[in-house]
Chains A and B, each alone.
Chain A
Amino acid sequence: MTTRLASVILLAWALLALLAPALPLSPNVIQLQHILDAPSAQAVFGYDDLGRDIGARLLVGARTSFLVAGWVVCLSLCLGTLFGALTAYRGGWWDRAATQLVDIFLAFPGILLAIALAGLLGPGLDNVVIALTVVGWVGYARLARAQVLTLKQREHVQAARALGSSQWYILRRHLLPLMAGALIVEATFGVAAVVIAEAGLSFLGLGVQPPLASWGAMIRDGTRYMLVAPHMVLAPGLSILAVVLAVNLLGDRLRDRFDTRLPTETGRQQ
């Protein structure tokens, strides 16, 4: 039941985000007579401090967060997995150097590094993606490393190596399929983290540039008018919460389904 609801929410998020440019929206049209108007039949989510339709801006914000989440998770997943898996497979000096590098990036707590990078690079969608990817790839690298280190002891990998298969072939055919479950689960939770991080950066004024809408920036604008127009803060916040909750719920389900700890457990049961 909850899984179905979560899937529906995520599907709606993705569809609306992708279709937003095609919809007849006017997220940047300023209607002075509607400034801070509460939700009504005309505009279900009301109007903001400039008299813009909040509903339309929510959809544009959905697109922003969807695009950022998509790009950041894809880039981090590819870069991190490749880096972690390759260095771990090579082992020895490569592995030690890689681990040290990963540890350095992990020494920056949370999204602090992303905040600093976004601040230095300046606002903009592409800079947000860069900043969050620089922070994000490390988790996948760690995970891929741990998986490869265990998996490469398995008989089928040893056999492939003995048969003279190339590194790439082994990685692609014998390791990646077994790692995929854990990586997918990690990436799912990654989407939730990126949605919050993007909104957080935008809230801090380090995200997308106005007039482009972002849920975080909408909350930031809304905090100034909280007493007169609480709907300005409530609508984007609820959107973030819905998406993040749905992603987390789905991630939990996926984790149970794939049981990410499986490869190591079965590998040792003898």
Chain B
Amino acid sequence: MAACKGARTSPGRCPAHVIRAGDYTPGQPHDDCKIPTCCIDPLLHLCSGLRYSHAMLAYLIQRLLGACLAMFGVVSIVFLFIHLIPGDPVEIMLGESATGADREALRLALGLHEALPAQYLHYLGGLLQLDLGYSIHQQQPVGHLLLERLPATGLLALVTLCLTIVLALPLGILAAIHRNTAWDSAAMGLSLLGVSIPNFWLGPLLILLFSLWLGWFPVSGQDGISSVVLPALTLSTGLTAVLSRMVRSSMLEVLHEDYLRTARAKGLPPARIILHHALRNALLPVITLLGLQLGALLAGAVVTETVFSWPGIGLLTIESIQSRDFPVVQACVLLISLTYILVNLLTDLVYAWIDPRIRLDGSSA
């Protein structure tokens, strides 16, 4: 029996994405990879007998179903948030000075007088109509608040992502090419530092260095294009660290392939070999990781946006936690988590689309 060859040669490589009929031993699990969203089991059971393309299609459907279920679960947990608050949520939200009439009004507005199942149905119904509730402190629909803050977070995420790619690719490639040299250990040392340094410390340090001492960038807030630099840099360090490691291991794996020896034998210039032949193949697992890390980025944005007073969704989350504006907290968590699920789903689909080996038509099988 062909036993899942090459599937776990590198620590980051997810075997779920090396889908080749016959490569899998039925019943053998392959999910000790760190990538949480790939559900491989359905594939495993299907791969054994079915044709390759059917297995792929089934995998995608399974993936879609899984994402829907996860979304449903997330919505349910977020709904329960308000009932997890110790004590009376209305009292906590309004404070002790509120009158009884005010409390009753809020209780009514939040639907807390209803039975739990009825509340749940109302909540789900509201979400389906994109009704996220009403902010008590800001006196406006939560949806408006989110829309207001969304562009800032989007911009931050985009710049961070670009910065990460620009930093991580050269770092990882350099480390892989010069394996076991000072270059390698320097790059990997930097990467270890990047994983270990917390955003909420790096941010203030960067402010101290670049804003207060050198005066290159604004201290905080959103004021012109230069103000995005420091938050993006802060947010991208952890990401860059993880990604450069991944690029390195992925490149190392590819560098031993026969087609690279062929390319070298043909006398192609090294730069072309690395960029055209090696990198393109090494990028596949990197893309999966990037999709996953985008979620971590969104969560990290909560801390980073707070450090820099960047007016995005993350700062809104913290502000609304502090002002006990629970409907807004719920909506923020919901938005970030659903985005995360969607991005992961999209990554998997894009992955299947990019890699000729796992395209739906199955011509290579």
Contacts and interface: CB of A to CB of B under 8 A. Distances in A.
B69 interface: yes
B38 to A, nearest CB: 10
A150 B29 contact: yes
A113 B69 CA distance: 18
B303 interface: yes
A259 B208 CA distance: 41
For chain B, the bracket of interface size reads 35 or more
Nearest to A116: B333
B328 to A, nearest CB: 11
B192 A227 contact: no
B317 to A, nearest CB: 7
Contacts of A216: 200
Nearest to A202: B200
Contacts of A113: 77, 333
Interface residues of A, number: 62
A160 to B, nearest CB: 19
B296 interface: yes
Interface string B166-177: 000000000000
Nearest to A237: B201
Interface string B63-98: 000100111011001000110111000000000000
A198 to B, nearest CB: 10
Nearest to B82: A120
B36 A245 contact: no
Given A103-B70, A142-B36, A112 B200 contact: no
Interface in B1-53: 3-4, 8, 11, 25, 27-29, 31-32, 36-37, 39, 41
Interface stretch (B144-152, B254-262, B318-326, B352-360): B318-326
Contact of A119 (B32, B296, B307, B329): B329
B337 A107 contact: yes
Nearest to B77: A104
A233 B205 CA distance: 8
Contacts of A204: 200, 302-303, 306, 318, 321
B84 A104 contact: no
B73 A116 contact: no
Interface stretch (A38-46, A54-62, A260-268): A260-268
Contact of A107 (B70, B300, B307, B321): B70
Nearest to B42: A96
Top-9 shortest CB links A-B:
A110-B299, A104-B73, A109-B295, A119-B321, A237-B201, A149-B29, A146-B32, A106-B36, A109-B299
Given A110-B300, A203-B303, 16 more contacts: A99-B39, A100-B73, A106-B37, A110-B295, A111-B299, A112-B299, A116-B329, A120-B84, A146-B32, A147-B32, A153-B27, A230-B208, A233-B205, A236-B201, A237-B204, A252-B192
